[in-house]
Structure 1
Amino acid sequence: MVDLVPAGDDAGVRVAQPGGAPANVAVGLARLGGRPSFLGGLGDDVFGDRVEAWLSGAGVDLSLSARPALPTALAVADPGAHGNTYRFHLGDTATFALPDRTADVGRFGAVYAGGLAAVVEPAVGVVAGLAREAARTGLLAVDPNVREDRTLDPAKSLERLRELCALAGVVKASDEDLVRLWPDADPEESCRELAAGGRLVVMTRGARGATAYVHGAAAVSVPARPVRVVNTIGAGDAFMAGMLTWLGTAAGWDTELSAGATKAMLEYAAGTAASVCARAGTEPSAPPGV
């Protein structure tokens, strides 16, 4: 996917920036020293060329991806005082023409799923199958990353995301996403319900930091890292990349963490997110002093 984001202070001019949650997470993992593979559809156009160059240039393996003769999906970002809103161009695009690589899932210690591919046809069935296999063979990490668009059925989209969260061993969600997914519950209550199923659940709250929930243990919170905010696009994806990097390198994908380890994971992830907020673009760097 390509994000069309404001060019500096001129809200009337847009700049094309490679993005999409799964791609942002993949690049984040690579920038933090990992060896991620990206499963996606790359457009047969100049935007697809740019996305491919961005991913491969970061060190992301693209052998599981496909490049059908279709255009790249677009997301028009409108930053505001209360976060970013998006308008999407999704139909008949390569972005959601995913190849079925279910047989390859067992090669990986962890699989990340989330973003629009979980709710946009024809990707829905492929993502669901991959998620089920990942949950069976290893660790499935999910960020529901709720997005609304006139072309999507809201009720059906939310139900698909809830099903994905139910499969996961790790769920990272913003407080806003939790309210959309479970509107009749307090976000903290939703996190505890998810954690009761044996999951590691992390709720992010923007400038108010993040909290992790594990069944049978006290919640662990860390503040956001103070930074002069230049950009917030991709901060949640950077947080997820930092979290997965820590889990893979420091915990061997074990999600049954002590309070001290949980705090260390959150601090690393928060520092990674802060590195994106401090400059333009969505690529994180390893947080200093963590």
Structure 2
Amino acid sequence: MVVGEALTDLLVDPATGVRRALPGGSPANVALGLGRLGHPVRLATRVGRDVFGGQVRSHLRDSGVLLTPGSVTGTPTSTATATLDASGAATYTFDIAWSLTREAVSSLRTGSPAHLHTGSVAAVLPPGAETVLAAVRWTAPRATVSYDPNLRPDLLGPPEEHRERVETLVAASDVVKASDEDLAWLHPGVDPEKTARRWAEGRGPSLVVLTRGAHGARAWWRAGSHPVPAPRVPVADTVGAGDAFTAALLSALLGAGLLGGTPGCRTRLRAATAHDRLPPVVVGALDLAARAAALTCTRPGADPPTGEELGL
């Protein structure tokens, strides 16, 4: 189960000013990535019955993602205008309203998922953020949880208004993936690696992964850290790369039985991160995630790879 926003990315070419409309939204991108990697996925979200909403629904359906009942509404589909610079990096402006219908909220408690993922705008923007937090709290005793803050400063108020909520979600999660930009904004003047290390050494997540764009990533756990190099690729843009990283990481950990809806999964993940070296299965999951992100950078928009493209 993935809970969070699905929207339309309006990509603006820096040279021509031409806009392209592509389906996006960080949680929806993670759901899409998991679907393409062969996992049955449900997405609790909010999209309209307009043209953009139809594109989003088709995009998700074609990769096996099912929208929960109540996810399609009569309100317009949210948009994020992404302006690309010369390197393909994107800055965003949003036109978004986030909440879940009563029917969608009810669907979150229809059966226990094997795993719950959430994050981004949905986890901090009222009024829907309260629903997301409630879903995490309900799921955590029943299944594993992952969280990606994926914060959007232009859409939010001062960082101090969001720190407590972010820290609460981190503490309730088994796996956290965050970017260095996220943590630099959330804790100004604090080295993002220091924050990632603090999260990993606390009572919450067993694994914290800090992504650093072209500089790769670093995984943190209670007993140590591990560098994850970024493959060198020609970059079309970086839209959705972090979400592809998250989807591939979760996919590999689910496949290894380190995430899931049985008590043994959480215990195995904690055991795998209890020593000063990560076991090969976790190192392999991190490397797969880096390759998935790199492949996504080679094509426009949030277009995560399939298992076949990753050689699985």
**The two structures share one fold, judged by TM-score above 0.5:** yes
Cα distance change of structure 1 residues 136 and 268 upon mapping to structure 2, 3 Å threshold: same
The code of the aligned residue for 1:242 comes to A
Note the C-alpha offset of 1:150.
5.2
Structure 1 range deviating more: 169-178 or 153-162: 153-162
Whether the 8 Å CA contact 2:8–2:77 is kept in 1: the answer is yes
Q: Secondary structure at the match of 1:88?
A: strand
**Shift, 1:31, TM fit:** 0.8
Q: Which has the higher contact order (CA 8 A, sep 6+)?
A: 2
Aligned AA for 2:287?
E
Partner of 1:34: 39
Counterpart of 2:90 (choices 84, 95, 100) is 84
Segments of 5+ residues of structure 1 without an aligned counterpart are none
Residue in 2 aligned with 1:244?
A: 250
For 1:208, the equivalent position in structure 2 comes to 215
With over 3 angstroms needed to count, the CA separation of the structure-2 counterparts of 1:65 and 1:234, relative to structure 1, is farther
Residues 288, 44 of structure 1: CA spacing in aligned structure 2 closer, same or farther, 3 A cutoff?
Answer: closer
What is the rounded CA distance, in whole Å, between the counterparts of 1:70 and 1:108 in structure 2? Answer: 28
Distance 1:23 1:172 in 2: 16
Deviation at 1:205, TM superposition (A): 0.8
Instruction: Return the alpha-carbon distance in structure 1 between the equivalents of residues 27 and 155 of structure 2.
Output: 22
From the superposition, tell whether residues 50 and 107 of structure 1 become closer, same or farther in structure 2 (CA, over 3 Å): same
Query: Which residue number in structure 2 is paired with residue 3 of structure 1?
Result: 9
Secondary structure in structure 2 of the residue aligned to 1:282: coil
1:23 alignment counterpart: 28
Matched with 1:149 is 154
One-letter amino acid of the structure 2 residue matched with residue 281 of structure 1:
G
In 2: Cα distance, 1:42 partner to 1:235 partner: 22
CA-based RMSD:
2.0
- Length-normalised TM-score, structure 1: 0.90
Give distance in 2, aligned partners of 1:156 and 1:147. 13
| Aligned-residue offset at 1:151 | 6.4
CA offset at residue 249 of structure 1?
0.6
Question: In the TM superposition, what is the alpha-carbon distance from 1:89 to its structure 2 partner?
Answer: 0.8
Length-normalised TM-score, structure 2 = 0.84
Work out whether 1:173 is the aligned partner of 2:178: yes
Larger displacement relative to structure 2 (196-205 or 139-148): 196-205
* Counterpart residue type for residue 67 of structure 1: V
Contact kept? 2:40, 2:64, Cα under 8 Å: yes
CA distance in 1, matches of 2:156, 2:216: 33
Deviations 1:90-114 (A, max 9, x none): 2xx4x5334313413x521211110
Aligned 8 A contact 2:47 2:78 in 1: no
> Is the alpha carbon distance of 1:34 and 1:4 closer, same or farther for their aligned partners in structure 2, counting shifts above 3 Å?
same
- 1:11 Cα shift? 4.0
Could you say if the C-alpha distance between residues 224 and 66 of structure 1 is closer, same or farther in structure 2, counting changes exceeding 3 Å?
Answer: same
Count of residues in correspondence between the two structures:
284
Contact 1:172 1:203 in 2 (8 A): yes
Is contact 2:172–2:204 with CA below 8 Å preserved after alignment? Answer: no
Q: Does 1:230 align with 2:236?
A: yes
Aligned-residue sequence identity (percent) comes to 38
Taking the aligned partners of 1:270 and 1:111, their CA distance within structure 2 comes to 22
CA deviations 1:71-104 (Å, max 9, x no partner) are 11111101235932111112xx4x5334313413
Secondary structure of the corresponding residue to residue 72 of structure 1 = coil
- Cα deviation digits, residues 213-252 of structure 1 (max 9, x gap): 1112x21112001211112100000000000100101234
**1: CA distance between counterparts of 2:23 and 2:157?**
22
